[in-house]
């Protein structure tokens, strides 16, 4: 990405106020955020919410370290946009998944509807190592959809 494109992207959405993460991103091929993983995750989340998921993904790919929140932030961003193929690719790349990430994927498949997506939701639920209240409620809503209720 050129510097001018990065500047245009920054100003395209006046509600979004980028941090120095953008400066690091624009000037390097890989980086470790000097702000810490928590601040980096917050910035990625804000970028995604502001419609910059492509740019957030580029930064995600360049990060030297990621935690489950970093992964879940990207996955949830794709789920909210109903880009389940991209969400699933990231989910499959994760080495350590938490209940939040499992739930994001399952609820994303359920919200997309369609037989294929509902089958994927069920398959993931069956593979899920620890099922919480949210996961069970999501599956109940899936069964209700199947029954037409």
Predicted structure pTM score: 0.78
Q: Are 56 and 48 in contact (CB under 8 A)?
A: yes
Close Cβ partners of 62 (under 8 Å, ≥ 6 residues apart): 25, 28, 29, 30, 31
| Predicted pLDDT at 141 | 82
122 and 61 both lie in a single domain:
no
Q: What angle do CA 38, 44, 45 make, to 5 degrees?
A: 90
What mean pLDDT is predicted for residues 40-58?
Answer: 93
| Predicted pLDDT at 80 | 95
Q: How many CB atoms lie within 10 A of CB 101?
A: 23
62 and 1 both lie in a single domain:
yes
pLDDT at 4 over 60: no
| Predicted pLDDT at 2 | 41
Tally the domains of the chain: 2
Question: Would you say residue 77 lies in a domain?
Answer: no
Domain of 36 in residue numbering reads as 1-66
- pLDDT category of residue 52 using cuts at 50, 70 and 90: very high
Range with the poorest average pLDDT among 24-33, 39-48, 129-138: 24-33
Between 7 and 10, the more confident residue is 10
Q: What angle do CA 83, 67, 51 make, to 5 degrees?
A: 35
Between 119 and 24, the more confident residue is 119
Smallest CA-to-CA distance from 125 within 107, 106, 108, 142 is with 106
9 and 60 both lie in a single domain:
yes
Q: How far from 145 is each of 45, 85, 121, 140, CA to CA, in Å?
A: 31, 22, 13, 9
Average pLDDT, the chain: 82
Which tokens in the block code for residue 2?
């050129």
39 and 98 both lie in a single domain:
no
101 and 141 both lie in a single domain:
yes
């Amino acid at each position: 990405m050129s510097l001018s494109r990065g500047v245009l992207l920054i100003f395209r959405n006046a509600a979004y106020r980028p941090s120095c993460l953008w400066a690091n991103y624009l000037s390097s091929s890989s980086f470790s955020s000097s702000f810490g993983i928590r601040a980096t995750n917050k910035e990625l989340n804000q970028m995604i919410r502001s419609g910059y998921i492509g740019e957030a993904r580029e930064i995600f790919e360049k990060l030297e370290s990621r935690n489950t929140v970093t992964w879940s932030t990207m996955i949830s961003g794709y789920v909210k946009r109903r880009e389940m193929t991209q969400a699933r690719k990231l989910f499959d790349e994760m080495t350590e998944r938490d209940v939040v990430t499992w739930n994001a994927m399952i609820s994303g498949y359920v919200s997309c509807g369609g037989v294929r997506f509902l089958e994927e939701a069920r398959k993931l639920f069956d593979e899920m190592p620890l099922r919480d209240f949210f996961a069970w409620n999501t599956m109940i809503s899936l069964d209700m959809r199947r029954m037409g209720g």
